[in-house]
Amino acid sequence: MSSQASAALTKEEGLISSQTSMTADLVLEGLHCKDCAASIEKTVAKMVGVEDVMASFTSGKVKITYNPSRVGHPQLVACVENIGYRVAATGHKELGQRPIWRDKAFRFTVVSGLLLGSGLLVRLLTPDSILFSLGRDIPSSALLFLAAAVLGASLFAREGFRAARNLQFNMNFLMTIAVMGALVIGEYIEAASLAFLFSLAELLEGYAVERARNSLRELIKLAPEQATVRRGEKEVLVDVSEISVGELLVVRPGEKIPLDGCVVDGISSVDQSPITGESAPITKEKGAVVYAGSLNNEGYLEIKTTHRSDETILARIIHLVEDAEAQKAPSERFVEKFAKIYTPTIVVMAVLVATLPPLLMQEAFNPWFIKALTLLVIACPCALVISTPVSVVSALTSASRNGVLIKGGLYLEEMASVKTIAFDKTGTLTKGKLEVMEVIALNGAPESEVLQIAAAMERHSEHPIAKAIMERVDAIDLPHAKNFQAIPGKGVTAEIHGQRHAVGKQLLLEELDLDLPEAELERLHREGKTTVLISNTTEVIGIIAVSDQVRSDAKTVISRLRAAGKRVVMLTGDNDSTARSIAKELGVSDYRSNLLPENKVEEIRKLRKLHGNIAMVGDGINDAPALAAANIGIAMGAAGTDTALETADIALMADDISKLPYLVELSRRSAHVIRQNTAVAILLKLLLAVGVFPGIVTLVVAVLIGDMGASLAVTSNAMRLANFNSNS
């Protein structure tokens, strides 16, 4: 392990030594397959003091939760390195880019290939009869094949035997047995070919997984490792991990914002598309929130930090994407169950093939033993078990780059099966900000008086309607309201200029036994406007009509969702007339009105019974119960809301409804790619197994097609998802 990694490990141990349980995040070299990850988990889990361990081959990391009083950090590192992996760093640090020729696996594979090629050349050009011989049955050319086999097998044999000790007969063990078996019966060319080709396949598979990992690495590299901090009168360059909350960052034009914070000075346009997926830069000035990983375009900004480097929105996105492997998709669980049945079945078949024909039918031993070894190679389910995780990681990182955070393959795949999408109206299909659209004065009262009385009585209210009214008047000139009385759910009454006035819903004025302007109210409700009535003790003196404007892109989004085969339902607390008007404007035929938050939960449950899987789209705070009741909860504008990130299964980082069609299409494509990969991997293995018996499939063919070819095929297919974006 490098000195830098050792220092990082020591530092991490010191930072968390005060906790009862500690967590070690180890970045490994060479962790490229599901079996390797499973082997690490089983080996480390046996250590005294280890409480939990999760190895992720898609991120190349191992997360270990342990009791420091029973096991030390260095012991954990030693255990992992004894398995055969180099611990290169901790946390979210990435492996340094080393030249490929410095990689032991690369060097050994190349030399193994050269030895194999030399042996074949000697065998081709020189008859065995004139070669020096080690014995009557072993020509000296076999020395080259033997060396090639030993060198190639050294890359996986140690891990294979260690897996066997843990009663885990993974692909490394099966390949080791196959190479040893071929050597025992004198099939040196087959042994050397198998060792070299499998080592080459592992290299290529590692390269393919690295390509998938690169998309996650791009997220990690978004935020700079250092930042300029103003401390006293000086500006100093500091590692972001050493910056505390409340410090002052200096960000100049063209620099990336290193931490989440609030602008305290300066003005600039900021490209925050890597976090929220918004295509256009956003103007940031004093008081504006900014996110780590965003790019400051042309202005100078001073930013007060609000989160440490491991608590930023970007860090949380990275954590969630890395941990998404734990949220297994149904197809991945199916593949793992299939592999648990398939691999032992083929191994048993290989044993029977090697023993029954020679024993029962007096057949020659060597040909059937070679067929058995070929079956062992085919039994390795490598391509099958990586097909889904690589697809999921590619899709999740594509989504995160487009401002959509999906918390695992489970939700990605379930989204593809959703038939109905329910929307909360306010703040989702509409802008979420009420505006006064009309002021209607009645019974001789001036319009200014209607507004002033309403504002005087609503000036201390936090209700959205009250805020909309206050924006239309000058608060300085408002009359004083006395003997104020709030009537929950209906409105307020108070004395102004010695006369009692009421401001509120139609129901309140009906209870006061006042005549209502039915025609005006009917017209306003038909137009989708919410009404506030103002009265004195004898009559209604005015109506204020407010409305929440529909988002400009909402109708297009709903049209695209319906074109994709999704049923759209709108849920709102508005009265039926208002709900009907907005639904008609949006092109929504199914809506539910007059709903309190608990009513929305009940409606979601009813919709699930009627239409199956359902997704709910809301703001993640007021709509949290309804989001939880749906199969998939989708929160909008989650970048600025910690609650939304925690409660939702899928989060739209920006307050941008247009990402929904992209999400639906990404989930559909992901499900299609996963099905393709699973079908190809299973069918290919079965066809190869059948082809062994007539002699069509040899050891070399099994490795070239069944292992290396299949792994590269499913990985390359999965990588198509990483390039899919919201503009595709």
Assessment of whether the complete model's pTM goes beyond 0.85: no
Shortest CA distance to 195 belongs to which of 248, 156, 166?
A: 156
DSSP state of 256: B
Residue 267 has pLDDT above 60, yes or no: yes
Q: What is the pLDDT of residue 478?
A: 86
Shortest CA distance to 616 belongs to which of 580, 579, 671, 566?
A: 566
Highest mean pLDDT, choosing among 65-74, 272-281, 379-388: 65-74
Above pLDDT 70, what percent of the chain? 88
Residue 364 has pLDDT above 50, yes or no: yes
Beta-strand pair 430-441/540-550: antiparallel
C-alpha–C-alpha distance, residues 609 and 627, integer Å: 16
* pLDDT tens track for 701-721: 888 888 778 888 888 888 888
247 CB burial (10 A radius; 0-12, 13-18, 19+): middle
* pLDDT tens track for 326-339: 667 778 788 878 87
Whether 328 and 396 have beta carbons less than 8 Å apart is answered as no
The arithmetic mean of pLDDT across residues 543-554, rounded, is 89
Q: What is the pLDDT of residue 85?
A: 76
Q: What is the pLDDT of residue 423?
A: 94
Q: What is the pLDDT of residue 140?
A: 60
* pLDDT tens track for 183-221: 888 888 888 988 898 888 778 777 767 766 666 667 777
C-alpha–C-alpha distance, residues 233 and 250, integer Å: 12
Q: Is 517 helix (H, G, I), strand (E, B) or coil?
A: coil
216 CB burial (10 A radius; 0-12, 13-18, 19+): buried
When pLDDT is cut at 50, 70 and 90, the band that residue 3 belongs to is very low
Residue 660 has pLDDT above 60, yes or no: yes
When pLDDT is cut at 50, 70 and 90, the band that residue 556 belongs to is very high
Above pLDDT 90, what percent of the chain? 26
When pLDDT is cut at 50, 70 and 90, the band that residue 100 belongs to is low
Task: Give 350 or 380, the one with higher predicted confidence.
Answer: 350
C-alpha–C-alpha distance, residues 476 and 238, integer Å: 49
C-alpha–C-alpha distance, residues 183 and 191, integer Å: 6
When pLDDT is cut at 50, 70 and 90, the band that residue 15 belongs to is very low
The total number of residues shown for the chain amounts to 728
C-alpha–C-alpha distance, residues 6 and 89, integer Å: 8
The arithmetic mean of pLDDT across residues 131-148, rounded, is 64
The arithmetic mean of pLDDT across residues 574-590, rounded, is 87
Shortest CA distance to 430 belongs to which of 510, 330, 318, 548?
A: 548
Task: Give 621 or 429, the one with higher predicted confidence.
Answer: 429
Q: What is the pLDDT of residue 626?
A: 87
When pLDDT is cut at 50, 70 and 90, the band that residue 132 belongs to is very low
User: Tokens 């004083």, residue?
Assistant: 480
∠ CA 713-402-604, rounded to 5°: 100
When pLDDT is cut at 50, 70 and 90, the band that residue 682 belongs to is confident
Residue 108 has pLDDT above 60, yes or no: yes
Task: Give 428 or 330, the one with higher predicted confidence.
Answer: 428
When pLDDT is cut at 50, 70 and 90, the band that residue 586 belongs to is very high
When pLDDT is cut at 50, 70 and 90, the band that residue 592 belongs to is very high
* pLDDT tens track for 33-89: 777 777 788 888 889 999 999 887 777 788 889 988 889 888 888 888 877 677 876
| Structural domains for the chain | 3-97 (3.30.70.100), 102-216+325-391+673-723 (no CATH), 226-311 (2.70.150.10), 431-549 (3.40.1110.10)
Q: What's the half-sphere exposure (Cβ side, CA atoms, 13 Å) at 524?
A: 22
Residue 588 has pLDDT above 60, yes or no: yes
Residue 11 has pLDDT above 50, yes or no: no
The arithmetic mean of pLDDT across residues 111-123, rounded, is 88
Q: What is the pLDDT of residue 602?
A: 92
* pLDDT tens track for 289-325: 999 989 999 899 999 999 998 888 888 777 777 666 6
Q: Which of 424, 574, 655, 656 is catalytic?
A: 424
Long-range pairs, 184-188, Cβ under 8 A, ≥24: 185/365, 185/366, 185/369, 185/370, 186/137, 186/138, 186/366, 187/366, 187/370, 188/119, 188/142, 188/145, 188/146, 188/149
**Residues in CB range of 679: below 8 A, 6 or more apart:** none
Whether 702 and 374 have beta carbons less than 8 Å apart is answered as yes
Residue 492 has pLDDT above 70, yes or no: yes
Residue 138 has pLDDT above 60, yes or no: no
- Would residue 424 show up in a list of annotated catalytic residues for this protein? yes
* pLDDT tens track for 608-629: 999 999 999 987 666 778 888 8
When pLDDT is cut at 50, 70 and 90, the band that residue 4 belongs to is very low
**Tokens (6 digits) for 338:** 């299939």
**Residues in CB range of 314: below 8 A, 6 or more apart:** 219, 222, 223, 260, 274, 275, 291, 292, 293
**Tokens (6 digits) for 494:** 């108070």
